[in-house]
Structure 1
Amino acid sequence: MAKSPITDYSKKGKPTLVFGRRGFSEDSLHHPLGLTITKDKNIAIANSKTNEIKVFSLTGKFASSFKLHSVNLMVDVGVSAVTTNQHGNLVASYTDNHEVQMLMAGSGKLKQTMKMDMQNNFKPWGVACDDKNIYVCDRQNSCLRVFTVDGKYQRDIGRKGTGDGEFMEPVGIAIMPNGKLAVTDFENHNIQIFSDQGVFCCTYGTEGDGPGQFNQPMGIAVDRTGFIAVTEWKNNRVQVLDAMGNSVTTFGQQGSAEGDFFSPSGIAITPNGQIVVADFNNNRIQVF
């Protein structure tokens, strides 16, 4: 089967679909954070304030929802990020419950839980999976936690700081086509690239609002050709980079009109090059 043509991201900026509204009905959203495209080509959304994953079709139709499993109701940030593994199961960060949960595809049944020693004050955020590992951004401890696919903790990548290979607040992670890890650092205002073994490769971006600069980068997604899409919480925009870190385009501004953002958070790229963005404070999803 022939692959779809390479997307011209420079033409992005006008949404083709906007859905969601604040509320507690099945098809509403309340502060959506992370999101992902599922194996069956739906949009799974980390709906933080109701602590559930909501699933919609690519046309914006509600499909299902799954509550994260816990007896702890005293949380501020519930589910903050969601991705899928090679089997199509959902892997979600339950931030203020200090754990990552894996839910069975289709049923939402809890399959396994990943935790750290409570003395670490583990605050999982962005999460990504390959066929060997689960990588979790620990926003509180300024590192990546690496688990096996069956949930066993292995090692850390990075440490607190502002230099190469160091983090202040890692929040988003995506796996590039070559297997490297691309990580957004909310407080250092950059993207850092690592090998899958945790070897630092390079940094993209500095603080600012120009092309190639970031102000509180949040979500990150990579397409099959290596293009990188990033949400910027403070700049209220999406920026697209090529695989070498060069800025291709930016779009969006603060507001509530279609195409505007108010604290964009999660982001994903569909197989045909659509960019799906969680618009956190507008309580909606926009597709470009």
Structure 2
Amino acid sequence: MVTGEVANTPQSEQGQFEGRRIEWKVETFGDTEDLFTLNNPCGLAISDNDLVMCDRDNHRVVVKKRASKQVSYLSFNSRFKLEFMPQDVVILSANNLLIITDRGNQQIVVSDCQCKLVRTFGHEQTNFEPFGIALMVPFVIVSDIAEHRIIKYTTEGEYTAEVGGYGKGYGQFNEPYSVAVNSVNQVIASDFHNHRVQVFNSELKFLYTVGTAESSLGPLRNPYGVDVDSDDNMYVCDFDKHRIVKFTREGQPVCSLFESQIKTTMYIAISKGRLTS
């Protein structure tokens, strides 16, 4: 994984966004020279103190202190029927809890950072393969790639709403791998095989799509991870084009980051101007 910082994007008098200065590869971790090795790292989340990563094929969640090299691990293989396969994670800071999508056991896992299991939920769903997750306190938004839908739960695990189904129409998906929520509780969902990002309101009513129109940056091709910054700009991992694309909250393209500099762009997390992928 790589983490770095990016400067603000200036806007010209004509309203056209100019190039962006990028300080990239400020820090890398999880490779063979590090204190720990990641095996198919997936979703990640950032708090003031911790960087939390789903180390899927090692069947664990890695918690790394941001200010030091201290690392701890969470694994629940002895607790569940099947192997723990963490795909994505969010941090519920108020309670110091992690909420994790577990593809191996088709459930959502809630735990503290000391590996104390608090609860699981999602078992009531049939043909359920939870993938991406995002916070909309007091709710969580979960993407389900088996049924091509987005589900809204309370953080206690109560089902409240969903949108989706397989297809190409607005509000339909073909594998929604990642979700994010902005400051006005709009839900941003990647729609991988439909080559677009869809945006919904807090009640999961469709608003608009992002990344399909031709522009100087070109359309998205298999968008994977999504996240937002403090200004509600959207960042999309454009998987097939090996880049991260920035959009305004309204869906206008701004710039392309790390183009051809990253072998694979799948997940992204942004916190206080710091981008981790």
TM-score normalised per structure 2: 0.85
The Cα shift of 1:82 comes to 0.7
Query: Which moves more between the two structures, 142-151 or 56-65?
Result: 56-65
Distance 1:22 1:170 in 2: 31
1:239-254 matches, within 5 Å, as 239-253=245-259
Q: Give, as a single letter, the amino acid of the residue that structure 2 aligns with 1:156.
A: E
Secondary structure, aligned partner of 1:203: strand
Counterpart position of 1:90: 98
Q: Contact 2:80–2:105 (CA<8 Å) still a contact in 1?
A: no
Structure 1 residues 208 and 138, CA gap change in structure 2 (3 angstroms): farther
1:187 pairs with 2:188: no
Query: Which moves more between the two structures, 58-67 or 151-160?
Result: 58-67
1:200 pairs with 2:206: yes
1:8 pairs with 2:16: no
Distance 2:107 2:177 in 1: 15
Aligned positions, number: 260
Structure 1 residues 93 and 232, CA gap change in structure 2 (3 angstroms): same
* Aligned mate of 2:44, from 7, 30, 35: 35
Counterpart position of 1:284: none
Q: Give, as a single letter, the amino acid of the residue that structure 2 aligns with 1:50.
A: N
Q: Contact 1:219–1:266 (CA<8 Å) still a contact in 2?
A: yes
Counterpart position of 2:269: 268
The Cα shift of 1:140 comes to 1.0
1:114 pairs with 2:121: yes
Q: Contact 1:53–1:68 (CA<8 Å) still a contact in 2?
A: no
Q: Contact 1:68–1:79 (CA<8 Å) still a contact in 2?
A: no
Q: Give, as a single letter, the amino acid of the residue that structure 1 aligns with 2:270.
A: I
Query: Which moves more between the two structures, 47-56 or 14-23?
Result: 14-23
Q: Give, as a single letter, the amino acid of the residue that structure 2 aligns with 1:224.
A: S
Counterpart position of 2:137: 131
Structure 1 residues 207 and 97, CA gap change in structure 2 (3 angstroms): farther
The Cα shift of 1:88 comes to 3.1
Q: Contact 1:212–1:246 (CA<8 Å) still a contact in 2?
A: no
Q: Contact 1:188–1:207 (CA<8 Å) still a contact in 2?
A: no
Structure 1 unmatched runs, 5+ = 1-5, 255-259, 278-288
Secondary structure, aligned partner of 2:104: helix
The Cα shift of 1:231 comes to 1.2
* Aligned mate of 2:58, from 50, 56, 61: 50
Distance 1:62 1:131 in 2: 29
Counterpart position of 1:102: 110
TM-score normalised per structure 1: 0.82
Q: Deviations over 1:59-99 (max 9, x none)?
A: 67242111145434457xx1111111243311111113111
Structure 1 residues 233 and 176, CA gap change in structure 2 (3 angstroms): same
Structure 2 unmatched runs, 5+ = 1-5, 10-19
Q: Contact 2:131–2:143 (CA<8 Å) still a contact in 1?
A: yes
* Aligned mate of 2:80, from 52, 71, 78: 71
Superposed CA RMSD in Å reads 2.4
Secondary structure, aligned partner of 1:239: strand
Distance 1:137 1:198 in 2: 12
What is the percentage of aligned positions where both structures have the same residue?
A: 23
The Cα shift of 1:248 comes to 1.6
The Cα shift of 1:57 comes to 3.1
Distance 2:91 2:123 in 1: 21
Q: Contact 1:209–1:235 (CA<8 Å) still a contact in 2?
A: no
Q: Deviations over 1:252-282 (max 9, x none)?
A: 355xxxxx323222211112x01100xxxxx
